[in-house]
Structure 1
Amino acid sequence: MNIEQARFNMIEQQIRPWEVLDPQVLDLLFVVKREDFVPAAYRNLAFADLEIPLGSGQVMLAPRIEARLLQELGVQKTDKVLEIGTGSGYMAALLAARAEHVVTVECRPELADFARQNLERAGVANVAVEVGDGANGWSQRGPYDVILVSGSVPTLPDALLKQLRVGGRLAVVVGEAPVMEAQLITCVADGIYNTVNLFETVTPALDSIAAKSGFAF
C-alpha cells in the first residue's frame, strides 16, 4: 500500500466532501500520522471510511467524523482541552497539535496505556492521559476552553457543560441509535449555552455510559 497516496485519498474522497475545508485541519491530517495510532492488525485499514476496532469493544471513529468535529471546535493555540474517551490517542494528538494542552480521560487502563505509547512515539508532549470515568467530565483539571466527547451519550450531562469556560466549545454526539445528532455547544455567558446541530450520525456509546447501561456493541 502506498501510504501517502492512501492518506491523500482519505482526505480528498472522504473528508473534504464532508464539508471539512479548513486548510489548517486538512494540513494537520497529513502531519499527524493516523496509521501510527491504529492497532497493528488493522494498519491497512488506517485510511478506510469505517470505525477501527481497538479491542474491549472500543473503536476509532471514522476519519470524516474526527476531522469534522475538529474543524467545528476551532481549537486555538491558547486553548485548554478535555477529551472524554481516549481510545488510541489519535484524536488527542490532533487536538494537541492545535491547543496549548490536552487532558484526555479513558476508563480502560489497557487503552490508556496504548494511547500513551502512541502519543510518546509520535512525540506529542502536551497531552495528559488520565484513567477514570469521564462521563461527567474531569473537573479537577478544569475549566476548559474545548471539550470533545469521543463517543455518543443519550443525553448530555450538565456536569460537562459546567466545566466549559465562557466562550468555550463542546462537541458531542447525542441520542440513541438510530437517531443521533452531532452537536456543537458554546458557552456564551455563565450558565447560558448555544447549541448548533451539525449532522446526523450513529456512533458507539461512550464506554463508561455503555458499561453503566449494560449496553454492548
Structure 2
Amino acid sequence: MDFSIARRIMVERQVKARGVSDPLVLEAMLQTPRHLFVEEAFQSQAYSDFPLPIGDKQTISQPYIVGLMTQALRLKGGERVLEIGTGSGYQSAILSRIASRVYTVERIPDLARRARRVLNSLGCHNVNIKVSDGTTGWAEEAPFDAIMVTAGAPSVPDEYFAQLAPDGRLVIPVGSRGGQVLKRFTCSDSGCMEEELADCRFVPLLGRHGWSEEEGKA
C-alpha cells in the first residue's frame, strides 16, 4: 500500500474538505506517517475516517478531530504546548512539527514507551513525555502557550487555567462519559472566553481532577 497517497487523500477529503484550513496543520498532517502509530494489523485502515484501537482500551482519534483540535490551538510556530493524553503519540507528532516544544502527559506507561519509540524514529526530539496523572497538568514546565486535552473531562480542572500563559488557548472535550462538547478557552488577564467547537466523544479523562477509575468503566 502506498501510504503517501493514502495520507494525501486523507488530508484533502477528511480534513481540508471539512473546514480545517490552517496551512501549518495541513502540512504537519501530510508529513506525519499515521500508519506508524497503530498496530500493524490496523495499518491498512490508518488513513480512514474513524478512530482506531491502540491498546489499553485507548484509541487514536479520527484524522478530522486531530486536525480540528490542532487548528483550534491557533499555533503560529515557536510555542510551548502541553498535551494531556499522549496515547499513540500521533497528536504529539503533529504538534511537534509546528510548536517549538511539546510536553505530553500519559498515565499508561506502556503507551508512553511505545509513543516514545515511534516519535524518536521520526526525529520528533522536541517532545517531552511524562508518565503521570494528566488532570494535574505539568506545573514544573508551565506556563504553556496552548494546552490540548485528548480525553473527555466532566469539567475543566483549574490546574489547566493556572498553567496557561497570558493569551493562552485551552482545547478540551467536556461533558459526560457518553459524549462531550469540544471547547476552546482563550484566557487573558481579564478572564477566559469560552467557545463551543463541535460535538465529540473521547475516552474518559481519568485522574484526581477527572473521572475516577470506577466512573471511567461505567
The bucket for the TM-score relative to the shorter chain is: over 0.9
| Equivalent residue, structure 1, for 2:194 | 195
Q: 1:95 corresponds to which residue? A: 95
Displaced runs of 4+ in structure 1, greater than 4 A? Answer: none
Calculate percent identity across the aligned residue pairs: 34
Q: Residue 146 of structure 1 aligns with which residue? A: 146
Query: Would you say the 8 A contact 1:18–1:68 is kept in 2?
Result: no
Contact 1:210 1:216 in 2 (8 A): no
TM-superposed deviation, 1:48: 1.0
- Cα deviation for residue 205 of structure 1 reads 1.3
Q: Does 1:216 align with 2:187?
A: no
Distance in 1, Cα, partners of 2:64 & 2:148 = 15
Instruction: Please identify, of 204-213 and 124-133, the stretch whose mean Cα deviation from structure 2 is larger.
Output: 204-213
User: Could you tell me how far apart the structure 1 residues matched to 2:57 and 2:117 are?
Assistant: 20
Q: 1:102 touches 1:127 (CA, 8 Å); kept in 2?
A: yes
1:94-133 → structure 2 map (5 Å cutoff): 94-133=94-133
Query: Which runs of no fewer than 5 residues in structure 2 stay unpaired?
Result: none
Give the structure 2 partner of residue 13 of structure 1: 13
Q: Which amino acid aligns with 2:53?
A: P
| Long gaps (5+) in structure 1 | none
Q: How many residues align?
A: 216
* 1:176-191 superposed matches below 5 A: 176-189=176-189
RMSD of aligned Cα (Å): 1.6
* Residue aligning to 1:3: 3
Shift of residue 179 of structure 1? Answer: 4.3
Alignment of 1:29-68 (within 5 A): 29-68=29-68
Counterpart residue number, 1:76: 76
Cα distance in 1 between the residues matched to 2:206 and 2:48: 23
Shift of 1:83: 0.5
Listed one character per residue, the Cα deviations across residues 78-131 of structure 1 (whole Å, up to 9, x for unaligned) are: 211110000011111111111111110000100000010010001111011101
For 1:213 and 1:186, the matched residues in 2 are separated by 32
Q: Is the 8 Å Cα contact of residues 177 and 204 (structure 2) preserved in structure 1?
A: no
Q: 2:214 & 2:184 partners in 1: Cα distance?
A: 25
Distance (whole Å) between structure 2 residues aligned to residue 147 and residue 188 of structure 1: 14
For residue 207 of structure 1, report the CA deviation from its aligned partner: 4.4
Asked if structure 1 preserves the Cα contact closer than 8 Å seen for 2:24 and 2:98, the reply is no
C-alpha distance in 2 between matches for 1:18 and 1:173: 19
TM-score by length of 1: 0.93
Distance 2:213 2:144 in 1: 26
